[in-house]
Amino acid sequence: MTAVVALIFAPLSSCSDDADTMYARHDAFLRVTPVSTIHPLHSALNSPGIFCQITFSSTHYQFLNTHGRSASMPRTALDAYGEPRFVSGFIVGLPNGVLSASGTMMPVAYDLVCPNCFETSLIQRRLTLSEDGKASCKRCESVFNMNNGGFPESGPSKVKLLQYHIQYANDALVIHN
């Protein structure tokens, strides 16, 4: 009887393992609102193939999209209650041609850190974004395709970009893990 129960639940556990490995196990959090006032971020969340990197200083959020548009937003006292958590910053965008099960395009959120340098050497090297939807590391020369799940296209990396859960609705963006 135990063997029968194990056989019934074995396929379910392997599916949950696949879902668990889609997202990074690192702690992540960011809340930004109103998105519509931050042009580089708004265009990345509403235009397929455009991505925006989000970095932080002690006083401001910095936004730079793959078309060279940039903006900054001051951090407020409210941000102390939802302090951003990340490895090296965030990459946010709407991949070209990737549809959800419901047939809509879904935004993605990745960490800005090179996963190869971080996983093999604990080096927090930021990636450089390009207009063609690629993220590259100057240290290890790995190139990742942000339009295709963040998987490596070239270089030594065997792991994809660190991906986080993302919600975008009612002019608010939340990234979390």
Neighbours of 47 (CB within 10 A): 15
- The pTM score is 0.83
Confidence of residue 7 (pLDDT cuts 50, 70, 90): very low
Give pLDDT, residue 80. Answer: 64
**Tens of pLDDT along 140-172?**
999 999 999 999 999 999 999 999 999 999 999
Q: Which of 33, 28, 26 is nearest to 79 (CA)?
A: 33
**pLDDT for residue 97:** 73
Which residues lie across from 63 on neighbouring strands?
54, 71
Q: How many Å apart are CA 98 and CA 90, to the nearest integer?
A: 20
The pLDDT tens digits of the residues spanning 88-139 come to 899 999 998 766 666 678 999 999 999 999 988 877 889 999 999 999 999 9
The phi and psi torsions of 65 (rounded to 5 degrees) equal: -100, 175
34: preceding bond cis by omega (within 30 degrees): yes
Determine the average pLDDT of the residues in 78-83.
Answer: 70
The sign one gets for the Cα dihedral 96, 100, 104, 108 is negative
CATH number for region 25-176 = 2.102.10.10
Calculate the alpha carbon distances from 115 to 44, 139, 153 in Å. Answer: 22, 12, 13
Q: Which residue has the tokens 């006083």?
A: 59
pLDDT digits (tens, 9 = 90+) for 9-56: 444 444 444 455 778 777 888 899 899 999 999 999 999 999 999 998
pLDDT of residue 23: 82
Give the distance from CA 33 to its chain's centroid. Answer: 18
Give the model's pLDDT for residue 122.
77
Q: Which amino acid is at 41?
A: L
Q: How many CB atoms lie within 10 A of CB 167?
A: 13
| Dist CA 25 CA 11 (whole Å) | 22
pLDDT at 100: 60
